[in-house]
Amino acid sequence: MTTTAVLRTAALALLVVLAACSGQREPLEPQLKAIRSYGWPASVVDPDPDWNPASHLLVARSMGGFSTFEEGGAGERRFAADDRRESHHPRWLNREQFVFGPGWNARRGADGAVSTPSEGITVVTMRDGKPESRLPLSDRGYRPQPSEGVLIAQEGNRILVIDARGRVSEFGEGFDPVPQPDGPGLAWRDRPAFDDDWWTGGNDRGCMLVRWSRGRVDTLGDAVQAAWTRHGGLLATMRLAPPAAGQPWWSGGSEIIHLPGPGAPRTVVRRGARDPAPHPFAELLAWTGDDGGVWIGTLRADGWSERIAVNGSRPRWSHDGLRVCWLEAPPEGSQIPGIRVTVLAVR
């Protein structure tokens, strides 16, 4: 084992011990510090990077295909799709496979008819750092997300469940579904949060539904950006007021709330915050602050916190909890962000 691997293992072991201490009467909170950062320029407006569940490899959408990004290795490796189609919203299934889908959910023509894309979902299998195969899984589905051996996806105003053989069933009507990765939970909205609503006819801002299991559903107010914690709780961003015309959706104020279980009262975890990203195994959270920076801290509103980047958004933890990737704000005159990674160590 190399010196780097030994240090990484030791830091990870210490983090596990500190996280375990959080259940004591006087909790010893784990605290991390940023030790270095690296990154790459993206080639599209929304690369939507995702960490491999077993390594420090990132996959992201890129112009005409997808890219993988590896720390200390080959760097960026860009792979073109056969038809130059971009690989939107890629999500890893396991160490060697990820899925992607189309770049839009629905469109309405001049005659008022609403259509959905026909590209469907593709499974990519990687071998030795290169795509070995790219096979269609289903001809339906937008923004696929894995959950307990199936994929949850969107099609128009319907939520889809897609199994490993590509068989599609419908969960029901809803928007922006976020499944619990390792449990039966599912959060979704009763109307679109950011896209045009051509289906419900509602004139309010809608709400989020949280299905813990069959027959156990809670309702949140104007919540978006659901994220499931390791304990099976739910984090979400609450939009506090409508934004002014032409301003971002969060400009009316936002806060991250925690719903620990069915029927439990919600608590405000961080005010002036969005993009909740719970740590994979510690009582920690990453988020975007209303100052435009990327922050990490505890799941308690009055706990430790620290800004790890002065600008950025949409943080995501690596599988070992010692790296955070995020999107760096585009330089002036551009709409293309950078993909950055901050490496962390236990204090």
List the beta strands (DSSP E) in 214-317: 216-220, 223-228, 234-239, 254-259, 267-271, 273-278, 284-289, 294-298, 305-309, 313-317
The rounded distance, in Å, linking the Cα atoms of 297 and 302 is: 10
Side-by-side strand order, sheet with 305-309: 273-278, 284-289, 294-298, 305-309
Q: Collapse the DSSP code of 18 into the 3-class scheme (helix H, G, I; strand E, B; otherwise coil) and give the result.
A: helix
Tally Cβ neighbours within 10 Å of residue 331: 11
pTM for this prediction: 0.90
Each residue's pLDDT expressed in tens, for the chain with a length of 347 residues: 444 444 445 445 444 544 444 444 344 567 999 999 999 999 999 999 999 999 999 999 999 999 999 987 778 999 998 776 779 999 999 999 999 999 999 999 999 999 999 989 999 999 999 999 999 999 999 999 999 999 999 999 999 999 999 999 999 999 999 999 999 999 999 999 999 999 998 888 999 999 999 889 999 999 999 999 999 999 999 999 999 999 999 999 999 999 999 999 999 999 999 999 999 999 999 999 999 999 999 998 889 999 999 999 999 999 999 999 999 999 989 999 999 999 999 98
CA atoms within 13 A on the CB side of 232: 10
One-letter amino acid of 230: R
